[in-house]
Structure formats: structure tokens, C-alpha cells
Homo-oligomer: A and B are copies of this chain.
């Protein structure tokens, strides 16, 4: 009883998911979720980008933590780009129609980010600062390449 009650409370406070329609999460929620991932990718990539550029002092512990988070985050946004979100008008989104008209290319861009962040995670476990910085740059390029093709210019 206690277990069920506790879960129910959290569910009620949750992200708008309804149990009977988990496979049909509202498009507005999907957009909010994928944008949340981008926000956090910015949070954890940002300082590492600064380190790779020499604008922020290099901190191996921060890189290790951030690379681990980013490795997870890079797997989170993609199901949020469901075709049902294409025609939502009342949320501001920079997602371009190419996401849905060129799904293979979009998938490749997604895979590239995941591959590069996985490599960064590995590199961050080693002690080679220069290798880590190069891999931070590779992750940055993967972000940029996807934005270039699939996100409205900002």
C-alpha cells in the first residue's frame, strides 16, 4: 500500500505521462523533453568547450563528470523528434522539417553525436589532456553538424 501510494504521488506530479497512453505522449511534452536535453547538453558541454579553447582552466574531474553526463544525454533526445511534433504551433521550436524529410541523414547525425560522446567518455577516463581536448572538439563538431542541417539558424 505504501509503495503504491508513493508512486501515485510522483506520477501525479510527473511530466504529463499517462499510463494508458505511454506510447502516445503528447507532442507538446515530447518537444519539452527534447528541448530539456539540449539545455542540459549545453550545460555540460559548455565548460568543456571552454577548456578545449583554453578559455577555462582545464579540470580533469569536471571533464570526467561532464563527459559521463553528456554520454547519457546524447542518447535521450531522439524519441522526442516524433513526427507528431511536426505540426505543433504553440511551442517555439527551431526543429527544421528536414528532420522528418531526411530521416536517414538525421539518424546518422544522431549516431555521430552518440559515437563522439562515447569516445569522449572513454578519453576522459585516461590522463591524456590533449586527446581529451581533441575529442571535446569532435563532439562540438557533431553538435554543430546536426544544428547546421536540422536546426533553424539562430
Chain A residues engaging chain B, CB cutoff 8 angstroms: 2-4, 6-11, 13-17, 19-20, 22, 32-33, 35-37, 39-43, 45-47, 49-50, 52-53, 55-56, 68-69, 72-73, 75-76, 133-134, 136-137, 140-141, 143-144, 147, 151, 154
A-B contact pairs, 7 of them (CB 8 A): A3-B134, A10-B144, A13-B144, A13-B151, A22-B50, A33-B40, A33-B43
Known: A68-B72, A69-B76; 17 extra A-B contacts, CB below 8 A, are A2-B137, A3-B52, A3-B134, A4-B53, A6-B137, A6-B140, A7-B49, A9-B140, A10-B143, A13-B143, A13-B144, A14-B45, A15-B39, A15-B41, A19-B53, A22-B56, A37-B40
Are B46 and A11 within 8 A (Cβ)?
A: yes
CB distance from A95 to the nearest CB of B (A): 14
Residue of B nearest to A20 (CB): B55
Determine the main DSSP class of A at the interface with B. helix
Docked pose: A76 CA to B2 CA in angstroms = 28
Known A-B contacts A22-B46, A76-B69; A13 and B154 likewise in contact (beta carbons under 8 Å): yes
Are A43 and B15 within 8 A (Cβ)?
A: yes
